[in-house]
Amino acid sequence: MPELPEVEVLRCNLEPLLVGKRISDFQVLKPRVVRPESPQQLENGVAGCSIKGVGRKGKFLWLDLAKVRSRKTFHLTIHLGMTGRLFVQDSGDPLPGHTAAVLGLGWKRLVFRDPRSFGRVTLETDSLDQLGVDALSDEFLVERLRDALASTRQAVKVRLMDQRHIAGLGNIYVCEALHLARVSPFEAASKLPLGKVKALHQAIRNTLQKQVELGLKLKLDFAGEGKSDGLFYFGSASTQTPQSRERFRVYGREGEACPTCGSKIVRAEQSKRGTFFCPQCQQRE
């Protein structure tokens, strides 16, 4: 599932291709991804609009749209779900299988392909309104992390994945950041000492920033068929070379050596998700 870095890399790639373009039409091939509007309502809402920008918060992406001769912009929000892909292709090319929705842009079109139909396209901003602070934004300060952790009895990893408090982290980058900060995923969030909260804040920022930088350096194949969850899945074809492969510290590396101490990395179930950690480096307080 794409997390903040993957969506940010996608945003950076789409922006120059989309800004300034005018939407000629909107086709829905999988009505389930459009909600709560009807496909017709959505088409009426966006046809004829121009694209002013491409935004992101957490794992959500949106297009800033404006009607002709209007300065007021509004969001067309897209959530990629588990395996959704978003890419620009020539209007003459055949549509790929599992295409969920298509924005016509004259000679080009923006294709939203969603094999599992967990994605969503909407003009409503309810999902965005419910998000907490974006983990890559300037508003994500140590104090925000401290407050998010202090007000719960949950384990730190579970809290970090709750998008209503901090938006953008999923299973992969939470595991990575916790290892970098030497914090146990099972630690009670509210028991984390301030020093560890600071280390964790720094680790979250570093992990996400580095990953975005890596993704922006790669030539990615956004329409590709990559299936590996956990890789830079938008561009899995080009991540198969050793130079560009994502190198996770602990995620997906059960039984391998911890990059810090050499102990074996362990996988455990936590809230029905696989949690990867080093039992030596990440001990509870």
Considering the rule CB under 5 A, would residue 261 count as an interface residue with Zn ion?
Answer: yes
Q: Which stretch binds Zn ion (CB under 5 A): 112-120, 203-211, 231-239, 256-264?
A: 256-264
* Pair 162, 195: CB distance under 8 Å: no
CA angle 254, 7, 2 (to 5 degrees): 35
* Least distance from Zn ion to the Cβ atom of residue 256, Å: 11
In the list 73, 137, 260, 270, the residue contacting Zn ion (rule: CB under 5 A) is 260
Among 3, 43, 187, 246, which one carries the catalytic annotation?
Answer: 3
* Cβ-based burial of 267 (10 A; exposed 0-12, middle 13-18, buried ≥19): middle
Indicate the residue whose CB is closest to Zn ion: 258
Comparing CB distances to Zn ion, the nearer of 77 and 282 is 282
Binding segment toward Zn ion, per CB under 5 A, in 23-31, 123-131, 225-233, 277-285: 277-285
Q: Is 273 a catalytic residue?
A: yes
Q: Is 116 a catalytic residue?
A: no
Find the catalytic residue in 56, 59, 85, 120.
Answer: 59
Query: Residue 59 catalytic?
Result: yes
Contact status: 257 vs Zn ion (CB under 5 A): no
Based on CB atoms, which residue is closest to Zn ion, 65 or 281? 281
144 annotated active-site: no
Q: Which is nearer to Zn ion, 238 or 280 (CB)?
A: 280
Query: What residues line the site for Zn ion (CB under 5 A)?
Result: 258, 260-261, 263, 278, 280-281
Q: Annotated catalytic sites, by residue? A: 2-3, 59, 273
